[in-house]
Structure 1
Amino acid sequence: MPIALYLVLREENLSQVTLAIRHLHDEQILLDNGGLYWVAVDQASDSAALAVQCLAAMPANARATLVCCEHSSQELASKLAADTGPGLLKLFDINKADIGLTLKSLVGELTRTAPAADSTLVLMLPDSAWQSDVAPQLQQCCLSLRQWLRARQCSLLVISHGQASQLHDRLLRLNDTLSGLAQLYRRDGGICYQLHYWRSELGVCSGQEFELELGEGGFALSVNEQANEQLSHTDDQRIYLTQRPVLEGSPPLSDQWRLFESREDLLQQASRARAASIIVAIDSNRDVEALARQIHALRERCGIALKIIVREMEPCLRYRDERLLVSCGANITVPYGTTLAHFFSIIDSVQGQTWRRSRITDFQLIFERLRPPAERGLLAPREFIRTLERVYSGASGEVSHQLLKLMPRGGLAIEQYLNQIGLRRFGDVACVVNGAFYLFLFACRADGLEPALGNICRLSWRDLFSDFQAFPGLEALPREDFLAETSLPPTFILAEERTAGSSAGAAGHGAYSPQRTTLPITDLCS
């Protein structure tokens, strides 16, 4: 760590330290002395905004230490206004290459900085920090930190950034060690804040989810959340408006059910509802966009208390289609093959729910957010990286994708396997770097990876490749290797040129055309 810098900003009476997310209750954001709190953020820019907001809200007599890796502590401190922040702020930066060793001796490093009692530490780390070969075990590190914090009555806020789901799963198992755990991530154009648990002197909060907005002053509870935090019960909350095919010929369960032959009649009646359950059917992929538009208009007209349920009557919805329907206002999509009894249980489970997604008034904007990039097939490594940057930096980065590295089986060159790969969907791209095959599948869930590999490989993918390595995001790739490679594999270019030449030659000589031939009956019998 470099020599610390000291910023003396102002002095006032000492008060409590919080995350300072506006309009959340104190028990949801308060940090206790001796507590270890962790907020996992998917985007680095959002983690920086949260850190600045927390520091800016600290009282004038507070003493704080900011330790950063992949962020600049001086740059973050420079965003504090002259009349905000702690009276004393120490700044430290950790080199990314040294992060594993630093974590291994983190307690000793923090002791060396000699924070005073009742001080607050903010530690900003990438998720990849725990993937270092020399990094300590996460649980053991947190236990050591908790003991150290309690002995000195200091509080520590860890703000990690990245999309490493394995790290999040490990953090969920540390509820006896951490004082608080929350996630902040982008979803469908909005910002979701998921509070797994939070302990302070005001009590314990758990299992809560909020929609936030990011403005000049930092994060705050969204206007929609504030307006609808306490929804009053309405007269139609136990009314069910449904298309007749949804019930598979069964009669209405009670007088509260209203059946309609067509979707248009159902939606016209639903436009006057406020908290009823609206159940629509879909049996063709061609109807997805039209249904999404209708659901979006219904949600805009009726508000967030309406329960909109889409039942798939034939297997037609892809992952992206489901996300589009939910982003436009559906509470849930029920997959094809769900039994009628299970379907009724699902309907019961959504009663009392409110639709908590970000409300975007422009349907075309929602549609564009989930549109795949125009590229597909084999790309040059540099173009591959640029395509993925657009995906992960844009809204489509909120959809689950698969980023893989596959090693060829046997001693053949990777280019000799390319003829067995067919990437037909827009957004599915690949490249070759240092003899390895890198593959990106747009809008593909982890449970759909095996079928996807089966669709794009003419032979079994296990016969072509020995295994694959999945990456959590773009930051996990060896970026320098990709930028050093600027062209497609030469043999692949030659193969394309030969194909083009063969097609041109065939066009010049004229193509063969089929002719009718009648065989004698004797020839047919023989």
Structure 2
Amino acid sequence: MSHVSLAIRGLPDEQLSMRQGGLYWVSVDRSRDLETLALQGLMALPEQHRASLIWSGLYPEQLMGSLQERSDCAQWRLFEVPEGVIRLALQSLPGELKRARTAPGSLLLLMLPASSWQTFDAERLQHWCSAMRRWLGERRCTLLVLCHGQAPQLHAELIRLNEHLSGLAQLYRRDGGIHYQSHFWRNDLGVCGAQLYELDLLASGFGLTRDEQARPTPTRTDDQRVYLAQRSVLESTSALSRQWKVFERRIDLLQQASQARAASVLVAVESDQQVEVLARDLYALRERCGSALKIIVREMEPCLRYRDERLLMSCGANIIVPFGIPLSRFFSLVDSVQGQVWNRRRSGADLEALLKRLRAPTMRGLLSPREFLSALDQIYGGASGEIEHQLLRLQPPPSLTIEQCLYQVSLRRFGDIATVVEGVFYVFLFACRSDGLESALGNICRLPWRSLFSDCRPLVELAELPRAAFLEATHLPSEFHLAPERAEATTRARTDLNAYTPRRTSLAITDYCE
């Protein structure tokens, strides 16, 4: 077995070890973190193990200084590639390594900025990886590519090359933490799917945080490569291996899945009417089988809203595959959750409360300030972060009255409510993501919303509302009305706001926050 490893303290060998003939790729956002990771791997090599270090774009000063202190590093070969010839050097790398008489079994460490790969399109990148894999296999060498700098397009292409890469991972910093995302990793110990780890940076290098070390490791079971699928999920596919068991009815699938522990369970959803029943089934499955089971829900018709997705994820799904994803891509997503552990487990007493939190209130439209505040107290009082809502403070411009603005607003979804306090329009949109806010405002306003309101400020919490003013205003003036339905509203809009040109909107869209 190969002794080449990333050597991140606390990670299992299945996610670290690299086999001979393998091509591994780790993207690192910061160049200093890249040096630290490279040094960890090199210092963990057995004595007398041969290695070649190739870099360009940034001299690894920290790395070189540390290597000079190691007694056996004299046999390590160091190459610096001028920035102007990186592309040429990459294309001719197998030949250059052959001419350099690279010893069989060596570790090759290639450290380059992400910009070095900008000229490689998908086809050229695949060709390069394929050529390197052939050379590595012939020489029984291991290549670790450490790429620093953000390059989302490059990484998207690499994920598709899982047949040419032995491993793909990312090391990045976000929200004050260090994250190591392993997308897939193959070595002599087996194959690992997607897994996310939280790391600390110590004097000795990267290692798992204490919380990560305390997390129980899932027990390997005999069914971890078994696939239990509902027939409709697979469309017309028939050429499946013996690892696959296909069921016509969901009830039969779930009955078989209840005996599994780490298998992949592929379930179809075709209507929003099925969501709550399916959520209960998934919840029961998790309670019985544990966190190692992989549950994949595939949307067969465009029926899932944002809150539906969050409900299914909270009740047990590892991943929701949206409608329209090709079958080949669907199978890739199924592979991506292999080895994943579901970590949202809840106690049985919480299920009904969860369903209630994610179910839209049976109210909509314009309310009195006191009713509006009372409704928000109920919604936010029971919230646990499964879904995101939007609470907005909208200020009309001096040229328009609040009555004119209200008459151009239509709230059609249950849970979407509004009120007026001291000449300011307050709107609450239930189960609406922040990245969908622009679209939501465009759908609830019959005219361009920026023409109706001079200022739009999202409120993060209820404490930002003027509570005293809300409690004092028990009623709204009788002239305050939201837009009536369809044709009547269009006629009135032209009369009240003839300075503006109405735009066409699709009133059939009722779930505008999705």
TM-score scaled by length of structure 1: 0.51
- In the alignment, is residue 238 of structure 1 matched against residue 225 of structure 2? yes
Contact 1:371–1:396 (Cα < 8 Å) also in 2 = no
Provide the residue aligned with 2:510 in structure 1. none
Provide the residue aligned with 2:267 in structure 1. 280
- In the alignment, is residue 323 of structure 1 matched against residue 275 of structure 2? no
- In the alignment, is residue 422 of structure 1 matched against residue 410 of structure 2? yes
Alignment match of 1:338 (pick from 306, 314, 325)? 325
Provide the residue aligned with 2:389 in structure 1. 401
Provide the residue aligned with 1:310 in structure 2. 297
Contact 1:306–1:354 (Cα < 8 Å) also in 2 = yes
How much does 1:335 deviate?
Answer: 0.9
How much does 1:444 deviate?
Answer: 0.8
How much does 1:239 deviate?
Answer: 0.6
Contact 1:428–1:442 (Cα < 8 Å) also in 2 = yes
> Residues of 2 paired with 1:490 and 1:302: CA distance?
57
Provide the residue aligned with 1:261 in structure 2. 248
Please state whether the residue corresponding to 2:277 is helix, strand or coil.
helix
- In the alignment, is residue 445 of structure 1 matched against residue 433 of structure 2? yes
> Residues of 2 paired with 1:281 and 1:468: CA distance?
40
Cα deviations by residue, 1:46-73 (Å, 9 ceiling, x for unpaired): xxxxxxxxxxxxxxxxxxxxxxxxxxxx
- In the alignment, is residue 371 of structure 1 matched against residue 369 of structure 2? no
CA distance change for structure 1 residues 465 and 326 in 2, over 3 Å: closer, same or farther? same
How much does 1:314 deviate?
Answer: 0.7
- In the alignment, is residue 412 of structure 1 matched against residue 400 of structure 2? yes
> Residues of 2 paired with 1:344 and 1:438: CA distance?
45
Cα deviations by residue, 1:450-501 (Å, 9 ceiling, x for unpaired): 33223323334344334422222223334444345443234228999xxxxx
- Aligned positions of 1:130-169 closer than 5 A: none
Contact 1:375–1:429 (Cα < 8 Å) also in 2 = yes
Count of aligned residue pairs for this structure pair: 297
Contact 1:391–1:397 (Cα < 8 Å) also in 2 = no
Contact 1:402–1:445 (Cα < 8 Å) also in 2 = yes
Please state whether the residue corresponding to 1:492 is helix, strand or coil.
coil
CA distance change for structure 1 residues 432 and 208 in 2, over 3 Å: closer, same or farther? farther
CA distance change for structure 1 residues 209 and 329 in 2, over 3 Å: closer, same or farther? farther
TM-score scaled by length of structure 2: 0.52
CA distance change for structure 1 residues 478 and 210 in 2, over 3 Å: closer, same or farther? farther
How much does 1:197 deviate?
Answer: 5.1
Provide the residue aligned with 2:193 in structure 1. none
> Residues of 2 paired with 1:318 and 1:207: CA distance?
36
Contact 1:198–1:206 (Cα < 8 Å) also in 2 = yes
> Residues of 2 paired with 1:397 and 1:320: CA distance?
12
CA distance change for structure 1 residues 343 and 173 in 2, over 3 Å: closer, same or farther? closer
The letter for the 2-side match of 1:382 is R
Please state whether the residue corresponding to 1:249 is helix, strand or coil.
coil
Cα deviations by residue, 1:94-124 (Å, 9 ceiling, x for unpaired): xxxxxxxxxxxxxxxxxxxxxxxxxxxxxxx
- Aligned positions of 1:88-99 closer than 5 A: none
How much does 1:238 deviate?
Answer: 0.4
> Residues of 2 paired with 1:261 and 1:478: CA distance?
56
The letter for the 2-side match of 1:321 is D
- In the alignment, is residue 464 of structure 1 matched against residue 452 of structure 2? yes
**Structure 1 stretch 238-247 or stretch 450-459: which is displaced more?**
450-459
Cα deviations by residue, 1:291-345 (Å, 9 ceiling, x for unpaired): 1122122222211111111000110001111111112111111111212222122
Contact 1:415–1:489 (Cα < 8 Å) also in 2 = no
Contact 1:401–1:444 (Cα < 8 Å) also in 2 = yes
Cα deviations by residue, 1:369-425 (Å, 9 ceiling, x for unpaired): 322334422222233233222222213654201111222245221122223222232
Please state whether the residue corresponding to 2:400 is helix, strand or coil.
coil
Alignment match of 1:431 (pick from 406, 419, 438)? 419
Provide the residue aligned with 2:102 in structure 1. none
> Residues of 1 paired with 2:319 and 2:208: CA distance?
23
> Residues of 1 paired with 2:401 and 2:412: CA distance?
23
The letter for the 1-side match of 2:412 is R
The letter for the 1-side match of 2:279 is A
> Residues of 1 paired with 2:273 and 2:365: CA distance?
25
- In the alignment, is residue 387 of structure 1 matched against residue 398 of structure 2? no
How much does 1:174 deviate?
Answer: 8.2
> Residues of 1 paired with 2:211 and 2:296: CA distance?
21
CA distance change for structure 1 residues 174 and 429 in 2, over 3 Å: closer, same or farther? closer
CA distance change for structure 1 residues 210 and 395 in 2, over 3 Å: closer, same or farther? farther
> Residues of 2 paired with 1:208 and 1:249: CA distance?
47
Gaps spanning 5+ residues in structure 2: where? 1-9, 11-172, 180-195, 485-514
Cα deviations by residue, 1:233-272 (Å, 9 ceiling, x for unpaired): 1011001111122122122442212222221221122121
> Residues of 2 paired with 1:373 and 1:318: CA distance?
16
In percent, how many aligned pairs have the same letter? 58
- In the alignment, is residue 248 of structure 1 matched against residue 235 of structure 2? yes
How much does 1:286 deviate?
Answer: 0.9
How much does 1:447 deviate?
Answer: 2.4
